[in-house]
């Protein structure tokens, strides 16, 4: 008989959980200690790079797994970049392979160093995801010497967060593909032009403002305790994820609450959370129930169902840019 992992853990908890709970109560730690009481103060927006103009150079890197179809993907991306009047440099390093990754950690880190060291480069595109970006952070990764655009999402969230934590703007959470509207929004952001507000669904009323932090939940959770997770106090945090069942999202968010990482956050926005339906057991909470329950008692504006993350549209958002979150109207607006 196969024993489900959660059933096994529940059996262990039954043996020793009572004593543990008593110890926690004796220490005076309770749910209220994990809750936010609203922003701790106004967090500053981050300095943004100059807008891209005709002839601006962008450099591709592959910080995670390798390109599955590099020829067609490169051709498609080059056409889009050219249509905006920019130049795309695709170094040979993007074609390297080492096991699952696009080259060894050191090779991928060197590709990053060369990209940000190119004095003509005004932006870096993370063209692959999967897994691997966080491995660069422990392999000698250094922040750009100047504000520079950095685009990607999913696994590349590790690099976006690290750049943000270093006090540099220019990291943009968003996909490089998608339809024309999705692409045009990214172009507008890179040109420092206005973009439309994102429409979601208001889950807890209130209006707040602060710089944005946008990330994949799993990636950010695995940066807890490192120097590469930004200070979230006074910021609007937008989470998304894919491939994680509701109970695993519940577990991650419980870690965030227990570590008091949500204390002082100005507001929460939630993009898409997608998972495999057969990874749900009878009695499980739905994904929306988990998100509402884990975020709903923080006392801050909460907006769900934003068009952000895996799936389409995956509308771009710049980390460090000041924004307004309206929990009544369900909108997220760049200021």
Q: Which residues are catalytic?
A: 154, 240, 310
Residue 307: which of 123, 159, 157, 153 has the closest Cα?
Answer: 153
CA dihedral 146, 322, 231, 28 (to 10 degrees): 180
The whole-angstrom separation of Cα 286 and Cα 298 is 20
Q: CA-CA-CA-CA torsion for 253, 273, 287, 328, nearest 10 degrees?
A: 90
The torsion region of residue 38 among left (phi > 0), alpha (psi -120 to 50) and beta comes to left
Parallel, antiparallel, or unpaired for β 201-204 and 302-304?
antiparallel
> What is the C-alpha separation between 36 and 1, in angstroms, rounded?
43
Residues with Cβ within 8 Å of residue 110, at least 6 apart in sequence:
93
**Residue 57 corresponds to which tokens in the numbers above?**
């150079």
Owner of token pair 């369900």: 330
Closest CA to 59 of 89, 17, 36, 85: 89
- Tokens 């908890």, located at residue: 13
Q: What is the 3-state secondary structure (H, E, C) of 207-250?
A: EEEEEEEEEEHHHHHCCCCCCCCCCCCCCEEEEEEECCCHHHHH
**What is the rounded CA–CA span in Å between residue 58 and residue 60?**
7
Phi then psi for 151, rounded to 5 degrees? -120, 140
Element (H, E) at 334: strand 331-334
* Partner residues linked to 239 by β-bridges: 215, 270
Residue with tokens 């491939």: 243
């Amino acid at each position: 008989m196969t024993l489900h992992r959660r059933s096994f853990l529940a059996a262990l908890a039954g043996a020793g959980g009572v004593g543990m709970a008593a110890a926690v109560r004796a220490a005076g730690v309770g749910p209220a200690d994990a809750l936010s009481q609203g922003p701790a103060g106004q967090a500053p927006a981050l300095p943004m790079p100059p807008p891209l103009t005709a002839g601006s150079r962008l450099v591709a890197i592959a910080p995670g797994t390798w390109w599955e179809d590099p020829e067609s993907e490169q051709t498609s991306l080059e056409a889009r970049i050219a249509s905006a009047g920019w130049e795309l440099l695709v170094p040979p390093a993007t074609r390297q392979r080492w096991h699952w990754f696009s080259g060894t950690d050191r090779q991928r880190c060197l590709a990053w160093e060369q990209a940000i060291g190119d004095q003509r480069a005004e932006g870096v595109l993370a063209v692959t995801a999967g897994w691997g970006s966080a491995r660069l952070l422990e392999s000698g990764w250094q922040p750009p010497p100047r504000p520079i655009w950095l685009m990607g999402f999913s696994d590349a969230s590790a690099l976006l967060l690290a750049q943000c934590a270093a006090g540099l703007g220019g990291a943009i959470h968003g996909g490089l593909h998608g339809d024309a509207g999705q692409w045009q929004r990214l172009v507008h952001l890179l040109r420092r032009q206005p973009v439309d507000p994102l429409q979601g669904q208001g889950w807890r009323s209130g209006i707040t403002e602060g710089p944005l932090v946008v990330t994949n939940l799993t990636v950010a959770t695995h940066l807890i305790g490192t120097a590469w997770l930004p200070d979230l106090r006074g910021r609007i945090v937008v989470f998304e994820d894919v491939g994680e069942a509701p109970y695993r999202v519940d577990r991650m968010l419980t870690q965030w609450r227990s570590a008091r990482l949500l204390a002082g956050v100005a507001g929460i926005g939630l993009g898409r959370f997608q998972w495999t339906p057969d990874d749900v057991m009878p009695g499980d909470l739905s994904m929306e129930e988990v998100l509402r329950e884990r975020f709903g008692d923080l006392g801050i504006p909460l907006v769900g169902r934003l068009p952000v993350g895996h799936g389409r549209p995956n509308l771009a958002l710049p980390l460090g840019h000041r924004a307004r979150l309206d929990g009544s109207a369900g909108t997220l607006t760049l200021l």
